[in-house]
Chain A
Amino acid sequence: MYSVVNTATIYGIDSKLISVEADISEGMPIFEMVGYLSSEVKEAKERVRAALKNAGYALPIKRITINLSPASIRKTGAGFDLPIAVAILSAIGIIECEKLPTICLCGEIGLDGKIQPINGVLSMAIEAKKNNFEVLIVPKDNLMEARLVTGIKSIGVENISDVIELMNEGKFEEQTVDMLGTSKFSEDEYDFSMINGQQALRRACEVAISGMHNMLMVGPPGAGKSMIAKCIPSILPKMDDKEQLELSKIYSVCGMFDERKGLIQARPFRSPHHTVSAQGLVGGGHNPHPGEISLAHRGVLFLDELTEFNKSTLEILRQPLEDKQVNISRASGSFTFPADFVLVAAMNPCSCGYYPDLNRCHCTRLSIQRYLSKISQPLLDRIDICVEAPTLNFAQISMKQKNESSEEIRKRVIACHEIQNKRYADYEFRFNSQIPSGLMDKFCVLTDQEIEYMESMYEKYSLTARTYHKVLRVARTLADMDLCSDIRLEHLQEALCYRGLDKRYWEEGI
């Protein structure tokens, strides 16, 4: 009167195998579940009991004990309903299946016995395949997602009676499913050809993506900062299969995966509202789930109205920006979520938005100072490119001309990325923005004339060692874009124009 069934639970963005044991013995009629369960897993008891009854199978009047092991992992999610039901049915002999040890299953059960879709099937399928299971039984609605993983038989089931029938027959054959649009690449909704004017800003975006530099746009309201930001994913190179799977896994765990489209192919663009909480941004919760920065993995994280964000929330970005991943430690364990994104931020120059136009701006110097100092220096230090976004006049907006499309820009970006990949093949980093300061002399070589120039600029702009290195990194990217092996004066000049918001604008001594 004992049986064991395999399933998996989400752990971070990966999955862990869980075995569900059922034991039915003489004693008081009790349905007991143990094994470090969260409340939604405990509720499975009631769902399973009702579902089995409605499917025509009464639970025996005996002592039923369910154990989910290993007991050290906290179990969350509704995916345990199906394995629990199968374990009980198998223990009481309704299901007799020899292949049970080679089957992994998951799914939520409704009171009528219907099997409901769950989150994170992709990740579970990957884990099941890794552990050499032959069959994966998932809710029918999750079938296409499970099929993205090849090498394991995925079977979709609609209700509990189907499962019993399937198991007793012992014939596990894959049904055919229609996949939608897997071959067709969805066109980007936003394209740089939609942007009129804003040459400087377009250029800055290209530079930023070419070297994977983080970027800050400063400009009055209505300058088109958000619009431009939305176009940025379209100039990023396409993701390879590994990256697509990685990203799809994150979205699947968060329940944001549209399985009909297959693996996610478009670079993500995440634009959280400025009221976002720290957990929402970097991930968290009792059982940590990925936050906005992980959803922006391999894509763009756009923070509009940067100054309106909670200061402590922004500070949390510092570590992920360095490490390209975020470590979250909770009582239930330590989780690592990938977070390799380009940060694009936008802000107004002051609270009314029009500084330095003194005819329209009515902010005092103190209020401008207060507004701008909402962003901490350490965060600004991680932003290599800072650019202003001016408002456009009517002629520029209504101009009907052919603008360069994202496709053309992307070609140049890819070429630039290839140069960098080749150059940094022996190193851990991949892009100019990540050159460690120790290797600056190796990759950013200046001639005497340029050193002299930078020396005079160093004093004029009161640069620091850190800002100087930032300028050099951007100059390196500019040189790569020009297919130049050496950094030249014009690259330094342009890079100087992109240097960060300077404290001297608002902390002017008298």
Chain B
Amino acid sequence: MDSVQFQYWFMKNEDISYGKKPKLIDYFYDSYNLYNASKSQLMATGILDEKTVDKFLEGKKKFDLEKEYYDFCNSPFSFITIESDSYPEKLRNIYDYPYGLFYIGTLPDFSRAVSIVGARRCSAYGKKIALELGEKLGEAGFTVISGMARGIDAYSHRGCLNSGGNTVAVLGSGCDVIYPRDNRLLYEDIVSSSGAVISEYQMGSSPVALNFPRRNRIVSALSDIVIVVEARDKSGSLITADFALEHGKDIYVIPGRIGDSLSTGTNKLLSQGAGIIYDIDGFINQLQDAYGQKTSVNKRPKEKINLTSEQKKVLSMFDEYPKSLATVLEESHMDYLKLISNVLSLERIGVLTEVFKNNYVKMV
């Protein structure tokens, strides 16, 4: 019998907690030995109590190694465990590494990996930055890692996919459970590109709140750098940042304004010494220098937008946060029709975006 079958059996085992699995493998060296271990041997480890051992042995008897593994091989999903050589080296380095990961897609090389995390309820500005970061990092040959949540996470993945880069989504549910459901298209695009969706949880696990902080440690562990785009005061992204500190990764932050609730978390990180990204192109160049090799990035010249002086004036009245047409009208004392025609033409050019009924955000 193949050792992979034993690995699969241990992956599927639900009697032993995720935390104790690596310890048992540490003790028995591999899942084959574990499979053949007697009750007394298992008790001697001191990791499991008697009740768990009985349950574990009972479950083992019922598990049909051949058939279960055969069924799994016919599914689009794969798995990888610490017993395998292709287990990401970076994961092994952390204190509570997972025994294995289920995944779908192709596991990329994690040697140049950057994770981007941030608020789910992000602003139009955050969305723009996440898309741009994802796209440029992907273009520069970095693997973009994130959690496939709404908002910043999803936009970073999407940005990376837009430039044809590799992106990896680490889920807090089973990797066959798409959460949130509106990200179905994104999920399918990640899988069909050269990226992967991974999860340490059993197939079919539902996205319970407890899973997400643990998921964040994998996001951090797999990457070299963690970028926080927008985060509120008590944001889950800050948990990722904590893990990043613990794992010794670099943390970079997109700065924000004082008083902007979406910047409280990020600005706090800045005050604690996180790196600051004030120029995305510059940041990526710097990264490439640090990694030694320069993957060819065909730098697109910034599109020159020609605006009339009136359009410039109108544009200057809008901001990075949503501002309503009526408010601008009151402030500017401009003619209503003139304002409307300028706003619509600016929107057509793409420097203004309508985020809600007659509420516009500047996009330059």
Contact = CB atoms under 8 A, between A and B. Distances in A.
Interface of A: 197-201, 203, 218, 349, 355-359, 364-365, 386-390, 392, 396, 456-457, 460, 489-490, 493-494, 496-497, 501-502, 505, 509-510
Nearest to A391: B327
B183 A510 contact: yes
B337 A490 contact: yes
Greatest chain A CB density within 10 A among B186, B261, B326 is at B326
Greatest chain B CB density within 10 A among A199, A200, A218, A489 is at A200
A388 B359 contact: yes
B341 A387 contact: no
A510 B150 CA distance: 9
Given A349-B356, A358-B123, A390 B326 contact: yes
A358 B329 CA distance: 21
Given A358-B261, A364-B121, 12 more contacts: A201-B326, A203-B336, A356-B322, A356-B356, A388-B325, A390-B324, A390-B330, A497-B340, A497-B344, A505-B357, A509-B182, A510-B154
B18 interface: no
B330 A197 contact: yes
Contacts of B120: 364-365
Contacts of A494: 336-337, 340
Nearest to A461: B354
B357 A357 contact: no
Given A200-B336, A388-B357, A501-B357, A493 B341 contact: yes
Contact of A198 (B322, B326, B355, B359): B326
B217 interface: no
B123 A497 contact: no
Nearest to A369: B182
Nearest to A389: B326
A505 B358 CA distance: 11
B67 to A, nearest CB: 39
A490 B343 CA distance: 12
27 contacts: A197-B330, A199-B330, A200-B336, A200-B358, A203-B336, A349-B356, A356-B355, A356-B359, A358-B262, A358-B321, A359-B321, A365-B120, A365-B121, A387-B326, A388-B356, A388-B359, A390-B326, A456-B348, A493-B340, A493-B341, A493-B344, A494-B337, A494-B340, A497-B340, A497-B343, A497-B344, A510-B182
Given A197-B330, A359-B260, A365-B150, A509 B336 contact: no
A201 B344 CA distance: 18
Nearest to B182: A510
Contacts of B260: 359
B357 A502 contact: yes
Contacts of B321: 357-359
B155 A390 contact: no
B259 interface: yes
Interface of B: 120-121, 123, 150, 154-155, 158, 182-183, 185-186, 259-262, 321-322, 324-327, 329-330, 336-337, 340-341, 343-344, 347-348, 355-359
A253 B153 CA distance: 62
Contact of A490 (B186, B259, B341): B341
A124 B287 CA distance: 89
A456 B347 CA distance: 12
Mostly helix, strand, loop or mixed at chain B's interface?
Answer: helix
Nearest to A500: B357
B192 to A, nearest CB: 15
A197 B262 CA distance: 31
A203 B330 CA distance: 13
Contacts of A349: 356-357
A349 to B, nearest CB: 6
A358 B357 contact: no
A78 to B, nearest CB: 51
Contacts of B356: 349, 355-356, 388, 505
B336 A199 contact: yes
Nearest to B343: A497
Contacts of A388: 324-326, 356-359
A199 B341 contact: no
Contacts of B325: 200, 388, 497
Given A358-B261, A359-B261, A387-B358, A396 B326 contact: no
Contacts of A364: 120-121
A218 B120 CA distance: 25
A412 B176 CA distance: 63
Contacts of A490: 337, 340-341
Ordered nearest first, which 9 A-B pairs have the shortest CB separation?
Answer: A200-B326, A356-B322, A356-B356, A510-B154, A388-B358, A390-B326, A390-B324, A390-B327, A359-B261
Greatest chain B CB density within 10 A among A198, A218, A358, A501 is at A358
B231 to A, nearest CB: 13
Nearest to A358: B123
Contacts of B123: 358
Contacts of A218: 357
Given A388-B359, A460-B348, A396 B330 contact: yes
A201 B123 CA distance: 26
A407 B164 CA distance: 62
B167 to A, nearest CB: 13
B359 A509 contact: no
B357 A199 contact: no
